[in-house]
Amino acid sequence: MPEVQHLDPVDWRILTILQDDASITNKALADEVGLSTSSCHERVRRLRSAGVITGIKAVVDPAAIGRGLHAFIAIRLRPHRRDLVDAFTAAVLTLPETLALYNVSGPEDFFLHVAVADSADLQRIIMEQLATRPEVGHAQTHLIFDRPLAAPVRPRRSIS
């Protein structure tokens, strides 16, 4: 299903624009890339049905709702039994502070990305939600100081 698509320069410009701001009108987007509204609309429709664009989503700033402190928590599980892993995953995903959970290789098993109000809140999560779980062997916290620019998916070379 995730067939690799061939994208021409116009497709890339459309993707670049929509990754930055998808609330742009089709008309404005068409002007931007130099197409008629109908052609542009068809391009976008194709990118969606081809699975290149998987969705249009609103981005919410955690800081605006009192969760300005971000952290990665690198987690090592003790026994690797499937049911324990699933239970851990399900529990972590229900936490409102969870932004993303990555199952990774290496000495750590999971990277958990959280957004919390303050360090006390972070400590609470770790103590009450993670350290108490028997399957959690070790958890190391990395505060996120900065995230220098979100990088959209972009072409290998310059956009024509």
Partner DNA sequence: ATCTTCACCGGATATCATCCGGAACATGCC
Partner DNA sequence: GGCATGTTCCGGATGATATCCGGTGAAGAT
**Backbone angles phi and psi of 147, in degrees to 5:** -135, 90
Return the residue of 9, 28, 86, 154 that touches DNA, per CB under 7 A: 28
User: Nearer Cβ to a second copy, position 79 or 156?
Assistant: 156
Return the residue of 16, 37, 98, 141 that touches DNA, per CB under 7 A: 37
- Compute the distance between CA of residue 85 and CA of residue 134 in angstroms, rounded to an integer: 11
**Backbone angles phi and psi of 69, in degrees to 5:** -105, 120
Contacts (CB under 8 A) with a second copy, residues 38-97: 50-68, 72, 89, 93, 96
- Compute the distance between CA of residue 30 and CA of residue 38 in angstroms, rounded to an integer: 8
25 touches DNA by CB under 7 A: yes
Angstrom distances, CA of residue 89 to CA of 54, 135, 136: 24, 11, 11
26 touches a second copy by CB under 8 A: no
- Chain residues in the site for a second copy (CB under 8 A): 2-5, 7, 15, 18-23, 50-68, 72, 89, 93, 96, 98-106, 108, 111, 115, 140-156
